Structure 1
Amino acid sequence: MPVSIIRYAEQGVPRWGVLFGRLIAPLSTDAPSTGELLSRHWDALWAATPSQAVLPLERVQLLAPVTRQQQFICQGINYRSHIAESGLRVENFPFNTIFTKAPSCITAADAPVVRPAHVQLLDYEIELGLVLRRALPAGTRVEPGELHQWLAGVTIVNDLSARDVQLPQGQFYKGKSYRGFGPVGPTLVLLSAEEWARLPELHMRLAVNGQPRQDAYCAEMIHAPAATLSELAAMHDLEPGDLVATGTPAGCAARAPGKLAMFVLRHLVSDAGKWRMFVRKGRANPAYLRPGDRISATIRTDDGAIDLGEQTTRITAP
């Protein structure tokens, strides 16, 4: 049975617990990071029982279950539907696109997010987040049936993106790393080996002001977790608690122009002119996030056996 880990503040002090419904079973640890919690208290996380759940969720302040000491690694264009809406061709991207977000952008699942004053094209991207259970040594080959050996669990990530920074400047890190641009949680859901096999069944949904925007299953990933972990292990070190966001499906605010417009832009307009037109058109697109908008994001299996909870993010002005 999945175990829902929650990080919260009680009277301003960060704590860890296991969530049972709307009640928290507090854990007797002051682990300062997600990595230390998973490395030193793994058995205790699985041993918590509903009878120990005595603290109402409403009495505490929610914190992100992935702390800011961890790496925040992302996969780009990992869903065919998102590639298509971006005006790209799947066959042109046979490789796994990897980038990072600043860990300082991580925030709680219900925390308000400030849209910076200079950002007009703020976009949303629901993603499944994978959290490392243990260090991944260089050269490790991870097989699909071995995910439980290397991964602790899953969480919801919203890869908020300033498209008018990311795309015209070619700055993924810069356009995606403003403070608050990484809502994570509300929970980190630990999975058994059998439950990891159900990863493709996880159903991602995101709505803005109650309007459905994204709706897809994790089965649609192009580069699955085992292959991605193997590739990352060949590049650099991964540590317990590190977060890997696995890409977003179609439904984002950003859209590619039509074929005729693409031809004109590619052959008759300079790069600078192209991006000025992109930003100008984007400002008239009501799908981009504005102060006052409310985002709801959920990931769960359709039978509810694995449920990562719900993110409720409000966009605010500076």
Structure 2
Amino acid sequence: MAVQVIRYTHGGKPGWGVVHAGRIAPLSRDYASTADFVREGMAEAHALGPDAAQLPLAQVTLLSPVTDDRQFICQGINYASHVRESGMDPDKIGFNTIFTKAPSCLTSAYADVVRPAHVQLLDYEVELGLVMRRPLTKATVVGPDQLHEWLAGVTIVNDLSARDVQLPQAQFYKGKSYRGFGPTGPCLLLLSAQEWRLWPQLRMRLQVNGQLRQDAYCGEMLFKPHQTLTELSALHDLQPGDLIATGTPAGCAARAPNRLAMWVARHLLSEQGKWRMFIRNGLRNAAYLRPGDTVTASIRTDDGALDLGEQRNRIVAP
């Protein structure tokens, strides 16, 4: 049975616990990092039943279940629907796009997110996050039925992005790594071997001020988790607690311009002129996030058997 693990503070003290029907069963130790919890605390988390849940969830302050000493690795354009809205043909993309975000951008699923003063085109991206269970330190072929061997669980990630930095400057890391640009959680959902087979049935939804913007199943990924683990294993080491965000579906604020605008930009404008036009058009796009907006995101199976909870982040001015 899937286990909802949270990291929190209560009375000024940090802790980890298992959620049962709105109450928390605290773990006996406060693990300093997600790596420590994954290595040493998962057995206890599986063993803590409802009878041990005495602390009301409403009395704690939630933290990201992924600590900022972990790697934060991301996949881009990993859903055909998002590829199309970005102005590309998914049939012509034969590679897995990998980049990183700064771990210092990780924040709580309920934290306010500051939109930096110079950022005007702030976008959202709901994503399924994979959390490593064990080290992956050499080239390894990971099969689709071996996810439970390498991954501890899943969590919700909102890959917030300053499009007016990311795209004109061609700076994915810079445009996506401002502090607070990585709401994660509320929980780390630990899965059994059998439950890992259900990951394609997980349904991602994101709303802004109650308006549904993104709605898709994780099974629509172009590059599946086992393929991404296999590819990453040949690049660099992965360690317990590291986070992999697996890409977002269609529905983002940023969209490719129409064909006429693209032709004009390509043939008549300088590089600087093209991006000035992009930002000018973006300022007229009400879908970008503004101070006062509230973003909610959830991931769960339609039958509720697997439920990663719900994020609720308010965008605020500096």
1:133-212 map, 5 Å? 133-212=133-212
Quote how far apart the aligned CAs of 1:42 are: 2.3
Quote how far apart the aligned CAs of 1:91 are: 2.9
Q: Distance in 1 between matches of 2:42 and 2:210?
A: 38
Quote how far apart the aligned CAs of 1:317 are: 0.2
Question: Equivalent residue of 2:167, what SS?
Answer: helix
1:227-246 map, 5 Å? 227-246=227-246
Amino acid at match of 1:272: Q
Amino acid at match of 2:232: L
Question: Equivalent residue of 2:70, what SS?
Answer: coil
Question: Equivalent residue of 1:308, what SS?
Answer: strand
Give the alignment's TM-score, normalised by structure 1. Answer: 0.99
Matched, 1:292 2:292: yes
- 1:107 aligns with 107
Q: Distance in 2 between matches of 1:28 and 1:290?
A: 41
Q: Distance in 2 between matches of 1:236 and 1:13?
A: 35
Q: CA offsets, 1:73-127, max 9 Å, x none?
A: 0000000000000111113320000000000000000000000000000000000
Q: Distance in 1 between matches of 2:185 and 2:64?
A: 6
Q: CA offsets, 1:239-277, max 9 Å, x none?
A: 000000000000000011111111111111111100000
Question: Equivalent residue of 1:24, what SS?
Answer: strand
Q: Distance in 1 between matches of 2:92 and 2:116?
A: 33
- 1:274 aligns with 274
Quote how far apart the aligned CAs of 1:11 are: 1.6
Amino acid at match of 2:88: L
Farther-moved stretch of structure 1 (12-21 vs 158-167): 12-21
- 2:303 aligns with 303
User: CA RMSD, aligned part only?
Assistant: 0.6
Amino acid at match of 1:96: N
Amino acid at match of 1:256: A
Q: Distance in 2 between matches of 1:47 and 1:292?
A: 41
Q: CA offsets, 1:24-64, max 9 Å, x none?
A: 00001121000111101221111110000000011111101
Farther-moved stretch of structure 1 (84-93 vs 64-73): 84-93
Amino acid at match of 1:17: G
Q: Distance in 2 between matches of 1:21 and 1:150?
A: 29
- 1:26 aligns with 26
Q: CA offsets, 1:283-311, max 9 Å, x none?
A: 11100000000001000000000000000
Equivalent pairs, count: 318
- 1:121 aligns with 121
Question: Equivalent residue of 2:237, what SS?
Answer: coil
Q: CA offsets, 1:153-174, max 9 Å, x none?
A: 0000000000000000000000
Amino acid at match of 1:129: G
- 1:47 aligns with 47
Amino acid at match of 2:222: I
- 2:87 aligns with 87
- 1:36 aligns with 36
Give the alignment's TM-score, normalised by structure 2. Answer: 0.99
Over 6 Å off, 4+ runs:
none
Q: Distance in 1 between matches of 2:21 and 2:236?
A: 38
- 1:249 aligns with 249
Amino acid at match of 1:153: G
Matched, 1:73 2:73: yes
Question: Equivalent residue of 1:145, what SS?
Answer: coil
Q: Distance in 1 between matches of 2:144 and 2:266?
A: 41
Aligned-pair identity (%): 66
Question: Equivalent residue of 2:148, what SS?
Answer: helix
Question: Equivalent residue of 2:166, what SS?
Answer: helix
Q: Distance in 1 between matches of 2:217 and 2:30?
A: 36
Q: CA offsets, 1:197-236, max 9 Å, x none?
A: 0000000000000000000000110000000001000000
Q: Distance in 1 between matches of 2:66 and 2:42?
A: 15
